[in-house]
Amino acid sequence: MLFTILYSIILPVFVLVGLGFGLDRRLRFDMRTLADLNFYIFVPALVFVHLVQTELPMATLLAVGGFCVAHGAIMYVTGRLVFATHPALRQKETVLSLGTVFYNAGNYGIPLIVLAFGHEHLEVIAAVLIVQNFLSFTFGIGLLERNRRTGRMLVNLIKVPTIQAIVLAVIVRLTAIDWAAVEPLARPARFLADGLVPVALLTLGVQLSRARPRGIGAPMLAITTLRLLVSPLVAAGMTVVFGFQPPVASVLIVAAGLPVAVNVAILAGVYQQDADLASQAVFWSTMLSAVTISVLLLWLQPL
């Protein structure tokens, strides 16, 4: 069973990641262009298409959103308690907290969920991605720049293409517009949505190729343990409290065990706060997740 998971789910993910990694070492892709393609085109297209097509009740999607917010809050408090125990952790508490709360639901999580659970459960991980984006552009930026004006943060959030795609999808669903009947628009949207998986994984490989891995010290041990081990265990307990049943519960648990979000490294670089640590956290948590995600999928297989 473990071999099947590694062969059928984990290996395809890392083959594409490795391809992006290797090609970037030779060709040196334009990282900004790849990031923009994901951010402005592929992720919004996928979120829109699957939100308008989903058969999940809106109440379930809202419950998933509430679950993600509550899970992030618990992980933030847990991280703060852990980081307070060691001077080396207290000095880097802000970035460590970001890595504890935010995980790679986009260019890792979506392809993984497609391979592990099928396209029919994309709506769940899409809802998770939405909440992660929302929190990173509000709470995350607020941590990095405590004096930033809330109004400005909200303006920036509204400009995020994924948020705009969500609003458009909600309008389409509430008005019962048959968007699929408009083939010149619907078909390109589906093409773009289908393109996310390979482009996202290649982009992740390029991002990892730019990292400069070093040894695992106390900060790295703390953040990888919290992100890859503690986080999915917390999520497993929370799915019971929230009353989620498989496969929704399984998707949420696996998502909670995803590695540190690339956005953490990007934001840390923009705000010049332990950017190297953030980059290392993305690299090591992604590499180690090949093992931890496999174990999670093996554990959840009967579900």
Q: Choose the weakest-confidence range: 184-188, 252-256, 268-272.
A: 268-272
Residue 147 has pLDDT above 60, yes or no: no
Residue in 222, 229, 235 with CA at minimum distance from that of residue 74: 235
37: amino acid identity, one letter:
L
CA distance 209 to 290: 17
pTM, two decimals, is: 0.79
HSE of 154, CA atoms in CB hemisphere, 13 A: 3
Tell me which CATH code domain 2-300 carries: 1.20.1530.20
CA distance 274 to 276: 5
Domain boundaries, the chain: 2-300
Degrees to nearest 5, angle at CA 187 with 183 and 193? 150
Residue-level pLDDT at 1: 64
Q: pLDDT tens, 43-98?
A: 788 878 877 877 777 788 789 999 999 999 999 999 999 988 888 787 888 889 99
Q: pLDDT tens, 92-136?
A: 888 899 999 999 887 788 888 888 888 777 778 888 887 887 787
